[in-house]
Amino acid sequence: MMENEWIIETVNLSKHFGSLVAVDNVNLKVRKNSLHAIIGPNGAGKTTFFNLLSGNLKPTTGKVIFHGKEITHQPVYRMIHHGLGRSFQITNIFPNLTVFENIRLASQVLEKENFNFLIKTSQLTDCDRRTWEVMERVGLKDRAAIPARNLPHGDQRKLELGMILAPDPEVLLLDEPTAGMAAEQVPELIHLIQEIQKAGNKTVMLVEHNMNVVMSISDTITVMHLGKVLAEGSPAQITANKEVQTAYLGGLYELDV
């Protein structure tokens, strides 16, 4: 196997909060251009693990490797420059800014000098162009002028996805992107995530509680339990895994696959 097939690797990665071990010695590899889901019950350590990958938390021990280089101790803004984009479990938009302004702001992360997004320019800058492209990608082009707070929840999640896409990351870390969405809106967002991953040659890491979604779109699934990796494999392997069935899936989810 070629070494550069792995875009992210963790080596003995752990995070302790006092005596609680939230992430416990996790060794995980993520294949470039794959959709890799992390599942596990509440409190399993999924969000903490994402925080370690994105640099929002520093590990107690272990390493995070991106494209074969250790990035464990890099600050968060560097992670974005390195091509790691993430979403937080809580919708992370600016409610009083319009859709355009939110995405424009996110796309400026990569521009060093200009943080004045309200500046009037007669010319379309690269940033503006990128903003329109992204709004089109996530299906919010005709809502450009609407303040984010006035969007329905489903569109807010699309906006959040747009904000992650704006700086054109190689890896998207999506923490429960469908959380709080009405069931009938979920397929559209999932389809959008798949499209973004496939068309854009992106690697997507996804934390998701909806097992039907996870089983239908993932290339690889890692099951976490009490901070540890309990199992890893394809959706078929995870579905058939007795240990996962007993410890987790059987008790918590109805599997409809």
Q: How far is the CB of 45 from ligand ATP (least distance, A)?
A: 4
Gap between the Cα atoms of 73 and 216, Å rounded: 35
Position among 48, 131, 197, 220 found at the interface with ligand ATP (CB under 6 A): 48
Q: How far is the CB of 205 from Mg ion (least distance, A)?
A: 13
The residue count of the chain comes to 257
Q: Is the dihedral of CA 67, 13, 30, 180 positive or negative?
A: negative
Q: Which stretch binds ligand ATP (CB under 6 A): 1-9, 43-51, 133-141, 159-167?
A: 43-51
238 contact choice in ligand ATP, Mg ion, none (CB below 5 to 8 Å, kind-dependent)? none
Pairing mode, if any, of strands 171-175 and 61-66?
A: unpaired
Q: How far is the CB of 145 from ligand ATP (least distance, A)?
A: 34
87 interacts with Mg ion by CB under 5 A: no
Q: Which stretch binds ligand ATP (CB under 6 A): 14-22, 27-35, 97-105, 165-173?
A: 14-22
Instruction: Show contacts with ligand ATP in window 197-236 (CB under 6 A).
Output: none
Which CB sits closer to ligand ATP, 26 or 140?
A: 26
45 interacts with ligand ATP by CB under 6 A: yes
Gap between the Cα atoms of 223 and 149, Å rounded: 35
Are the CB atoms for 33 and 201 separated by under 8 Å?
yes
Number of residues in contact with ligand ATP under rule CB under 6 A:
11
Position among 36, 46, 130, 158 found at the interface with ligand ATP (CB under 6 A): 46
Computed over its alpha carbons, how large is the radius of gyration of the chain?
Answer: 19
167 contact choice in Mg ion, ligand ATP, none (CB below 5 to 8 Å, kind-dependent)? none
Q: Which stretch binds ligand ATP (CB under 6 A): 17-25, 29-37, 130-138, 247-255?
A: 17-25
Which CB sits closer to ligand ATP, 72 or 102?
A: 72
40 contact choice in ligand ATP, Mg ion, none (CB below 5 to 8 Å, kind-dependent)? ligand ATP
Instruction: Show contacts with ligand ATP in window 128-157 (CB under 6 A).
Output: none
47 interacts with Mg ion by CB under 5 A: yes
Q: How far is the CB of 105 from Mg ion (least distance, A)?
A: 25
Interface ranges with ligand ATP (CB under 6 A):
17, 20, 22, 40, 42-48
Interface ranges with Mg ion (CB under 5 A):
46-47
